[in-house]
């Protein structure tokens, strides 16, 4: 995720938050960059790889992105 922020987002600020609550670990990675169309086929594997890795870790994953408004990834892991 951080690699994609550095390479593609054109953001001025990025935030990474890690917290634990009720036997859950929460990871939030977000930026204020240009965002993207998550349904567009770019021929790249970034989103696919993130979802595959999250699945291997049995994490719930949520992607929010809007053109011109940045990107937010939320992952929740059970402990």
Question: Which pLDDT does position 43 carry in this prediction?
Answer: 80
pTM of the predicted structure, to 2 decimals: 0.86
3-9 mean pLDDT = 91
Q: What is the CATH number of the domain that holds 36?
A: 3.30.565.10
The total domain count for the chain is 1
Decide: helix, strand or coil at residue 20.
strand
pLDDT of residue 79: 64
| Predicted confidence (pLDDT) per residue in 26-68, tens digit | 999 999 999 999 888 878 788 889 999 999 999 999 999 999 9
Distance CA 20, CA 32 (A): 24
Give the number of other Cβ atoms within 10 Å of residue 40's Cβ. Answer: 7
Between the CA of residue 73 and those of 26, 29, what are the distances in Å? 11, 5
Adjacent-strand bridge partners of 72: 30, 64
The domain in which residue 17 lies consists of: 2-78
């Amino acid at each position: 995720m951080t690699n994609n922020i550095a390479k593609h987002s054109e953001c001025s600020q990025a935030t990474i938050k890690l917290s634990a609550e009720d036997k859950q670990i929460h990871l939030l990675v977000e930026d204020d960059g240009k965002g993207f169309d998550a349904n567009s086929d770019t021929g790249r594997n970034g989103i696919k790889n993130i979802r595959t890795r999250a699945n291997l870790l049995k994490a719930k994953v949520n992607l929010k992105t809007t053109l011109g408004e940045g990107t937010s990834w939320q992952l929740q892991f059970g402990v």
